[in-house]
């Protein structure tokens, strides 16, 4: 008789094998997709219009026209003020323009609107973590990177490892042991 359920211990072992660069204690939550699906937005006409403005804003920012980008993101926010994505995008443009305080306000708003869940929150936590790191506040940066990592942000997970040299060393040692086991040396 076999069981289709995996024990917590077995899941932790598998997590270490498949995610060797994560610090100990961090777990890749297989329900992240379910969480993201719970926060999927309904494609109303307003949402479609906001997404169009955001795409135009991203294009403008990539072309170096930050003023036009900010105007497009403002229109997206005006059309859908309860949608976090517009705030995330505007925060990026504000940061590029040098308005760090404005960027932080928008990121905080995106996190508030998303209730700390979903892709908008993941992006906002990651961006805010980067700002904190650039400002020299590693403690706040690490906290935000951990939150983004728990929401599935791969870059944030890498930052958590990079900011914790002891975990990185332990993960490196574990990877070496796993390589030896796979090659038959152990």
Contact residues for 164 (Cβ-Cβ < 8 A; gap 6+):
23, 142
Calculate mean pLDDT across residues 24-50: 60
Asked if pLDDT for residue 12 goes beyond 70, the answer is: no
For residues 68 and 61, give the distance between their C-alpha atoms in angstroms, rounded to a whole number: 8
Domains, the chain, ordered by start: 42-183 (1.25.40.10)
**Higher-confidence position of 106 and 163:** 106
- The set of residues, in sequence order, having a beta carbon less than 8 Å from that of 170 and lying 6+ positions away, is 23, 24
In three-state secondary structure terms, 44 is coil
Is 12 buried (19+), middle (13-18) or exposed (0-12) by CB count in 10 A? Answer: middle
**pLDDT score at 53:** 96
Kindly report whether the global pTM for this prediction surpasses the value 0.85. Answer: no
Question: What mean pLDDT is reported for the chain?
Answer: 82
Say which range, 54-58, 91-95, 124-128, 169-173, has the weakest mean pLDDT. 169-173
Residue 140 has pLDDT above 50, yes or no: yes
* Residue 88 confidence (pLDDT): 94
């Amino acid at each position: 008789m076999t069981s289709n359920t995996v024990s917590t211990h077995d899941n932790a072992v598998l997590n270490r094998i498949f995610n060797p660069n994560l610090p100990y204690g961090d777990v890749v939550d297989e329900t992240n997709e379910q969480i993201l699906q719970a926060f999927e937005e309904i494609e109303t006409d307003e949402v479609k219009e906001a997404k169009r403005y955001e795409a135009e804003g991203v294009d403008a920012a990539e072309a170096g026209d930050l003023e036009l980008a900010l105007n497009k993101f403002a229109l997206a926010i005006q059309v859908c003020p309860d949608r976090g994505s517009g705030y995330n995008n505007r925060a990026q443009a504000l940061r590029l323009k040098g308005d760090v305080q404005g960027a932080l306000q928008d990121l905080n708003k995106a996190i508030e609107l998303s209730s700390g869940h979903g892709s908008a929150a993941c992006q906002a936590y990651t961006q805010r973590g980067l700002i904190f790191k650039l400002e020299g506040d590693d403690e706040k940066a690490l906290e935000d990177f951990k939150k983004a990592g728990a929401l599935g942000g791969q870059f944030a997970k890498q930052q958590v490892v990079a900011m914790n040299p002891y975990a990185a060393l332990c993960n490196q040692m574990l990877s070496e042991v796993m390589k030896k086991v796979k090659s038959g040396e152990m």
